[in-house]
Each structure stands twice: as C-alpha cells, then as structure tokens.
Amino acid sequence: MPTSTVENYVKQIYLQQQERGTDLLPMGQLATVMNVVPGTATAMVKTLAESGLVQYEPRGGIRLTEGGTRLALHVLRRHRIIEAFLVDVLGLDWSEVHDEAELLEHVVSDKVLDRMDALLNHPQYDPHGDPIPTSQGDIAEQSISQMIDCKAGDQAIVARVSDQDPEFLQYIERHGLIPGTQIYVTSVNTWADSIEVRLPNETAVVLGSNAAAKILVRPYSSD
C-alpha cells in the first residue's frame, strides 16, 4: 500500500500537470509545491520511478505513468468525497475542510469511501467545484476559464474556486460567489485592474484581478 508521502507526491504532480497543461513537470516546480529542497524531491522522484509511478528525465522533469495517474485520481477521489461529506453531512464550513481531508484521505478505506459516496448520492463535484473522479478513474471535463478573462456583458456560472485559503473562501462566500452562482459582468476596468459582476439578487461585487483569477467560471446557458 502506498505511503501518504507517495500519495501526496503523485497527487501534486497530477494537479500541477493539469494546471500547467503539460504532462512534463520540472523538478524545481515539484520541489516548490511540495515545500521541500530540490534534493529531497529528486530522491523521492527516483523512488517513484522505481515503483513505476513516474517517468523521470533528469534534465527535463517528471511525468506520471498510467499507474501513477490512476493512483493520483484515486487519492483525489478520496479527498474530494471527504470534503463533500464534511460539508454536506457533518456541517463543517467549506473553508476548513481542505486540511481535514488532507489528513483523512490517507486513512479512509475504500469500503467506507463508497458508503460516503452513496450517502452523498454520488456527487460529481466537491464543495469548491473540483470534479470528483469516479471509482473507475473517469473525471468530468469542464469548459472553464478565469473570471478575470470575462468581458463586459458576459453571463457565466461560478464553477470552481482554485484557492483553498480559508480567508479567501470566507471572503468570496460573504460576497455570494460560491460554485453554482450565476453572474453578469457589468464592467472590466483595465486601469484599476478589476472586474465588477452582478449577482441574481442585484448585488454588485468588485474584485481585483488576483482574486478574480482564482474564481473559475463556465458559460451560462438558459437551457
């Protein structure tokens, strides 16, 4: 059975691959996201390569193998179902469940996880809008973009929040920008580096580009 360290590495490699849009991740980037010195990351990657979970190119970077991707998706499935369970069943705030799930994802059994999934009626997304992989490793594709890339007059739905910082999550929740919320972009101010959106209750919210880049949206459809 993989250790929690192995699971954390393959999960982060997968997430960084998705974020960067490439399957080859530079070693320096991996060391940064794992918050370790490069030598520690390199030693771990060699262990992962020996286990058949990654392919390691010393001057290029690393990429997950099919087995590594399968393990990463399994860990993400555990993490995201646990987050949904903590929010929907136990009533924890969505701003505090990420760290709890980071701990529980390594110890929950598949049997318990499947019962949690069934109790939640097999959700496709976690409370932050991240897709939950199926038990077969399939994951829903979304056509999403950063809110800051919207133009005045666009209508969209908040799909995901990419920043798990509790204060940021509490901030956007106070302003009603949780996943599933419809927004109308009233203006984009390039000089102030900000965007203004209107919610269904007619509340206007102004966000700086840094905050708006962390909120991912999908096109609105009236169908």
Question: How large a percentage of the chain has pLDDT more than 70?
Answer: 99
Which pTM value belongs to this model?
A: 0.91
Examine the pLDDT at 85 and tell me if it is beyond 80.
yes
| Cα separations in angstroms, 156 against 46, 123, 143, 153, 201 | 44, 22, 11, 10, 15
Please report the pLDDT score of residue 143 as a whole number: 86
* Mean pLDDT value of segment 8-12: 96
Q: Which domains does the chain have, with CATH numbers?
A: 4-64 (1.10.10.10), 145-219 (2.30.30.90)
* Mean pLDDT value of segment 36-42: 93
In terms of Cα–Cα distance, which of 98, 58, 77, 82 is closest to 11?
Answer: 77
pLDDT-derived band at 223, boundaries 50, 70, 90: low
